[in-house]
Each structure stands twice: as structure tokens, then as C-alpha cells.
Amino acid sequence: MIHITLPDGSKREFPGPVTVAEVAASIGTGLAKAALAGKVRAEGESADAAKVVDTSFQMTVDSALSIITAKDADGLEVIRHSTAHLLAYAVKELFPDAQVTIGPVIEHGFFYDFSYKRPFTPEDLVAIEKKMTELANKDEPVVRRVLPRDEAVEYFKSIGEQYKAEIIASIPANEDVSLYREGKFEDLCRGPHVPSTGKLKHFKLMKVAGAYWRGDHRNEMLQRIYGTAWATKDELQQHLTMLEEAEKRDHRKLGRELDLFHIDEHSPGTVFWHPKGWTLWQGVEQYMRKVYQDNGYLEVKGPQIIDKSLWEKTGHWDKYRENMFTTESEKRDYALKPMNCPGHILIYKQGIKSYRDLPLRFGEFGQCHRNEPSGGLHGIMRVRAFTQDDGHIFCTEDQIQEEVKAFTTLLQKVYKDFGFTNIIYKLSTRPEKRIGTEESWDRAENALAEGLRASGCDFEYLPGEGAFYGPKIEYTLKDALGRPWQCGTIQVDPNLPERLDAEFVGEDGSRHRPVMLHRAIVGSLERFIGILIEESAGALPAWLAPVQVAVLNITDAQADYARSVAKTLQNQGLRVHLDLRNEKITYKIREHSMQKLPYLVVIGDKEMAAGAVAVRARGGQDLGAMPLESFIERITADIANKSS
């Protein structure tokens, strides 16, 4: 007899080995129809031993079983995995000469790489998606079989799939491999898969891009087709709507339209800031500079180019050199700094430090250079030259908790001022390979956790995700579209002070090593400004907007009054654009509205006669005429409150 334990604790008894599908059918026809897979573990095994399997999987010993449907996260994973195979099936039906390679699940969907004699076109994607729907509607069974490795290699060679044969040949010779067949198409895969193609109903192909075979630029360029798949039609539509909105908010598009910046092929991975964009940059930097000043940070500035001997001491020359820009002068090797921390230690080491000096907080708007692969560059979000709101706190072990609490509270205020209130907190703990004692890791991890708790934060652990020298906290914010952005961090580091011989004189008169806390709030200013642009869809709040108000005259008769209004506003510290062009007022209003300015001030004869202004707020809000003083009160309040 086989006993199957279900999630609610109830047990079912079967006379012999039983499949997941048979258990689902014994519970009810509705569940049998909805079942996509199962999550199984043998009785006595730990919960970690549970594995997701096909509905055809046969349990031969007493087991715990959860039936997976489209409502489960694991079910969605199976749907996406299976849809990748459906894509490959459709491509082989339409383009028999195409060779298939790999097709994994990714966030929100999947991709599959193909080798084909010509590039796939947008029209091809339409035809492939149509064929996928046709094959899904056939509701063909998905059947698994297992072959010895060498037999599988010969099988794929015999049907002309050289890439699959190469993948299988790299597997150890004594291992068997599993294949899945649907209709006339069979593919190498560990599984699991949906029981039949009819379970795949809600998908869409998104784009085609290039990808090197095995990720090596020396290999053939393949074609990667991306798709998305969901459990329901509504979820698919919500995702597509979100993508449409994200496209409208794309910081690269808005950067051009709002004349903020551009990226130029003469300097790939760096940003050319235009006057408006640099005004925005300065708004962020000056705000963060005030944060430094108000919270006990001493601003410093280190050099851009540092001799390789320092990078050898830190370990970067051996482990990170290919990501560094290097140069040579007078037979000495140098590198542009990829991070600011070693420079801060050199500043710390000037003069003897006492325990009374700690915690010592350094901050720098430090420009860093990293030789990122060109394929990974993305607007101002992923660049080769960037500036960080970088800070390093030198402290004792006993001071870590209080510093984490203060930093987290400060970070929450900063994010709120920038309009972000949804923050996710993650604590990365000790990895398998690490330095330091278990006791020191216990103390560091506990200090970070207690610092978060003291700040009123719920957080999740990321076991094993810390650096080899210490744990860290990641602060991830969510934008208006629900997309996560990891920006802030605080990292415990006893390693770099040790490598660079940083010390302080303790209360006992002897020398001790400080702990170094690496911390950033916005992280890369370039990336954070990109996030701000996308979060606001370019309609930046009044305190950050490069132009806060435009003054528009209706006819030349109001030009002098318009100039005096603009001058008065500028004297209040406002960023003003004066538009005296001989254009229709409707044209000027429309043009400046498209620039997403917080306020437009329109001046006609009536306003001039009354010494007033007609005010339009962003979004087409007509606030009517008001005294200039009243408008100044309104906009200065917006700026002070960091609203609008």
C-alpha cells in the first residue's frame, strides 16, 4: 500500500504505485483537469527535499504531495517552461532548417535561442505566435522518456540538432537524460512540463535579439526570441499594459524629449548631461550633500587614478582587473577607481585615530569607472562612468547596530522625499566560503538585524548571499509600476581595514582594527535619476524640476510685465523660463505642457492691469488668476514640502 499525505494533513491510500494525476483524479475531476504538476517528497525527508514533478510522475513509497495548478507560483514556472518548448515546436514547424539550443524561464516569461540562416522578422514572430496557438489548441500530450547520454547524443545528431548533441555530450557519460515530446517535436529537458499543450493559452512573443552560443562572443551569434506567459488572460493583459506604460516612461525616450541628456557613440557607457539634466543632477546631489551635513558625515574627495599597488593590496587587481580601466605613465601602472572605499581608508589613515573619534563617517560624491560589457549598457541605468553617494563609516563592532538603525531611518526619509514609500529590506547572511569566526559573523548579522528591527522594519533573510567578509542589508524600492530597484545598501567589512592596515587606539591604549561600513542611499546618481524619470514619467516634482515655472505672454503688449514677473520669481530662487515668442498662446501652452513643467504663468491684459498672473498647474489644471504673491506662496510651499 502507498500512503499519500496531502497539504491539509489528510491521507489517501492506494494499492500500489500511483501518479500525481491519479491522486488528483481521486480528489476530484476539477482538480484533475487543473493539475499541471506535483510537488513531492518521500515521507521522512525534509521539506527542502520536495521537488516539482510531472503529473505522470509515479510515487512508489509513502509521500507528501501538493497538486500544483496555475494558481501556484510553481505552476506559473511550469507554464513558462512549457511555453518555451511550444515556441521551439512552432519554429521547427515553420522553419525546419532552424536548430534549437536552449530555452529557459526568465522573469515574467521565457526565451529560446535558435540558429537560423537569416534573421527572424517581426512578421515571422506573428507567424510563430499564430502557430503556437494552433499547436496549443491541438492539446497534444507532453510525454517524457529517459535515454542514456550517448544514445541521446546520437539521437539528436541523427535529426540534425548539433547544438543539442553538443549540450548532451558535455554531461557526464554515466548520466541518463530526459527528453520531452509533444507532437512531432522532441526536446532535451529536465522538466517538469504541463501534461498537454492545451494547458498553454495565455502567451505573447515580445521581441527577437542576438545572443552568442554559450554566452561566448567568440561563438556563433544566435537569435533569441523572448516571450511572456501567464496563468490567465487578465494577468497577461495586465503585464502587457504595464509594459506599454513602462515604454512611455522609458528614461531614454524621456531624456531626449525633455532635453535632459544623451548617450553618444564617441563615449559609450557615459552620459552627456544637457543644461536641464545637469540642473536635475545638481538638485539630487545638493539634497544628498545636505543629508551628509545634517547627519554627521564629513565630505571628502579622492583621486580618480590610483597606482596598481593599492589595488593589489585590496585584491581588486587580481579579481577585478578586467572590469577596470587601466593606464600607464612613467613605467607605473594605474587604474581608474571602480569604487571609492580604498581611497577613504587612505584618508582615514592620515593621523592617529582614537576610539573617541569613532564612529567616523566619510561621504563622497565619488565618480567611478567600470569596464562593463557593451551589451549590458542601458541608457543611464547601466553605465561605465557613474557617481555614487558613497559613504563609509569607521566604527567599532559595538557601534554597528546603532549605525544601522540611524542609517535605515535616514534612508527611509530620503526615499520618502523622493516619492518612494514602498521599501523592501533584505539581510544577506554568511556564504559558504568566508573569512572570520562564527562568533564574529553571529555578532555582525545580529547587529544588522537588530538595527533593522529598531527602525521598525520587517525584513527577509537571504541565506548565504553575503560577501565573503561580512553580511549586508539591501534596500529595494518599488516604483509606480511595481518594479523593484535595489538602490541602498549597508555592508559590514572588517576585511579592507585589515588589508590596508587601518587602526585606532582603543580605551586600553592598544591598537585595534575598525570595522568599515560601506553604505549608499541612492547608489549611482545616474541610475537613481533614471529611476526618478521613469517613476514620475518625466513629470518631476517642483523641487526637482529643471524648470519650475514658465512665464508666457499673450501679446507683445505684456512683454515688459512678463519680464518683471519672471525676474521676481527668479529673485525668489525659482528656476524660470521666460517665453516672449510671437506665437499663439495655445501653441506655447501646449509646447510647455509637453515639457511637463509644474506650473505655467500666463499673462494677458487683464492680469497686467490687476498686477496678477493666470496660473495653470501640470495636468491641464486651470487655477485661474491670482496675485503674484499668492502664486509664490503656492509654489514655494510645494518645493518646501517636496510635493507636486
What residues act catalytically?
A: 341, 370, 388, 390, 392, 472, 518
* Beta-carbon contacts of residue 75 (< 8 Å; ≥ 6 apart): 36, 37, 68, 69, 231
CA distance 159 to 178: 17
Angle at 527 between CA 371 and CA 212, to 5 degrees: 45
Helix, strand or coil for residue 107? coil
CA distance 74 to 497: 44
460 phi and psi, to 5 degrees? Answer: -115, 150
* Beta-carbon contacts of residue 576 (< 8 Å; ≥ 6 apart): 547, 548, 549, 550, 551, 566, 569, 570
CA distance 528 to 423: 15
Query: Ramachandran region of residue 370, left (φ > 0), alpha (ψ -120 to 50) or beta?
Result: beta
Please list the alpha-helical segments (H only) found in 295-420: 308-314, 316-319, 341-348, 400-417
Q: What does the DSSP 8-state code read for residue 139?
A: T
Strands 385-395 and 360-369, by their bridges, are antiparallel
CA distance 246 to 254: 11
Q: How far apart are the first and last CA of the chain?
A: 69
Q: Which of 194, 172, 266, 182 is nearest to 34 (CA)?
A: 194
Q: Amino acid identity, residue 360?
A: L
* Beta-carbon contacts of residue 425 (< 8 Å; ≥ 6 apart): 408, 452, 457, 458, 459, 460, 473, 474, 475, 476
Please list the alpha-helical segments (H only) found in 95-196: 122-137, 149-158, 162-169
The dihedral through the CA atoms of 330, 333, 337, 339 has a sign that is negative
Total residues found in the chain within this entry: 644
Question: Do 29 and 68 form a contact (C-beta atoms < 8 A)?
Answer: no
Strands 423-428 and 332-336, by their bridges, are unpaired
